[in-house]
């Protein structure tokens, strides 16, 4: 399996491609501080997302953390000691920018959580399309423990995932939950007893996603994301995108391959 490392320009993340899997991986790379998120890391994430979006050979993206202790333990609290309301606004512009960019990224993004995903780390993971975790993972919106509320989407994305009342309990108490409870609540899609089993599943999932039409995947993601706007708006937008599918070559190729039963369709993204 050939993996190419393209991380020379980054200090706080690594970016690598797997041409065989048609995927790329962004790894939060500050294991000495449990991959705590500073502004520079957020900017590097945005830069790597730009690279992955422009690369047509990348059809799926994986976001993970270096080491086994943490996906990310959240924001680097050192930043908050001198932060004012005015600098907080600038901080949120970049921080929410990276999370929103992932949520609306035109290719599927899979969060692979190994260890803690708390505070801003959980917010970042929840901006991904699918989240898988190892059994040692821990989750929580712990901002209230340092005199804050979740500010990078936690009050919104968590309640949409698990319901408003359960979200309130986690946010109000700042308590951590384990991977089994996160699975039960619906924060994560899958939990695996070992890292090897988790990565085997991720490889299989990437294979399945990468075999689909990149154009139709983009439309599907866009339509599902629109569901948060309200049922009527979401249904109307879904109809527009469904109709658009019939103007694409990939739709014709998918129908042809199914009807002729002569192998898998060859999707070109057009």
23-36 pLDDT, tens digit each: 999 999 999 999 99
CB 132 within 8 A of CB 198: yes
Number of domains observed in the structure of the chain: 2
Burial of 230 (0-12, 13-18, 19+ CB in 10 A): exposed
Can you give the C-alpha Rg of the chain in angstroms? 19
- Tell me which residue has tokens 């065989």: 20
pLDDT at 194: 93
Interior angle at CA 41, CA 37 and CA 45, nearest 5: 115
Per DSSP, 75 falls in state: B
> Whole-number mean pLDDT of the chain?
92
Tell me whether residue 265 is in a domain. no
* pTM, full prediction: 0.90
User: Do both 75 and 115 map to the same domain?
Assistant: yes
The proportion of the chain whose per-residue pLDDT surpasses 90, expressed as a percent, equals: 70
Average pLDDT over residues 248-263: 86
Q: Cα angle at 37 between 23 and 178, to 5 degrees?
A: 80
Task: Evaluate whether residue 233 is within a structural domain.
Answer: yes
| 270 assigned to some structural domain | no
Does 121 share its domain with 151?
Answer: yes
Q: Identify the domain containing residue 254 by its residue range.
A: 214-260
Q: Which of 13-17, 118-122, 181-185, 235-239 has the lowest mean pLDDT?
A: 235-239
Residues 9 and 47 in one domain: yes
Catalytic residues: 123, 143
| Separation between Cα atoms, residue 37 and residue 131, nearest integer Å | 19
Task: Judge whether 210 and 22 are in contact, CB under 8 Å.
Answer: yes
Max intra-chain CA distance, the chain: 65
Assess if residue 138 is contained within a domain.
yes
């Amino acid at each position: 399996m050939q993996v190419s490392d393209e991380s020379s320009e980054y200090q706080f993340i690594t970016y690598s491609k797997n041409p065989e899997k048609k995927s790329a991986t962004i790894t939060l790379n500050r294991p000495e501080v449990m991959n705590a998120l500073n502004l520079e890391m957020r900017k590097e994430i945005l830069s790597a997302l730009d690279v992955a979006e422009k690369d047509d050979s990348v059809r799926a993206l994986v976001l993970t953390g270096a080491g086994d202790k943490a996906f990310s333990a959240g924001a680097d609290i050192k930043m908050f000691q001198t932060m004012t309301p005015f600098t907080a606004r600038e901080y949120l512009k970049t921080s929410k920018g990276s999370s929103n960019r992932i949520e609306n990224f035109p290719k599927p993004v899979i969060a692979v959580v190994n260890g803690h995903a708390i505070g801003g780390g959980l917010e970042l993971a929840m901006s991904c399309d699918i989240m898988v975790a190892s059994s040692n993972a821990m989750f929580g919106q712990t901002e209230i423990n340092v005199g804050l509320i979740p500010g990078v989407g936690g009050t919104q994305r968590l309640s949409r995932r698990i319901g408003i009342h359960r979200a309130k309990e986690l946010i109000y108490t700042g308590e951590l939950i384990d991977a089994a409870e996160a699975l039960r609540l619906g924060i994560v899609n899958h939990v695996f007893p070992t890292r090897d089993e988790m990565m085997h599943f991720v490889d299989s999932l990437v294979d399945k996603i990468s075999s689909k039409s990149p154009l139709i995947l983009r439309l599907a993601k866009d339509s599902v994301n629109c569901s948060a706007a309200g049922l009527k708006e979401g249904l109307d937008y879904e109809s527009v995108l469904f109709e658009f599918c019939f103007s694409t070559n990939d739709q014709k190729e998918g129908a042809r391959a199914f009807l002729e039963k002569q192998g898998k369709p060859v999707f070109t993204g057009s």
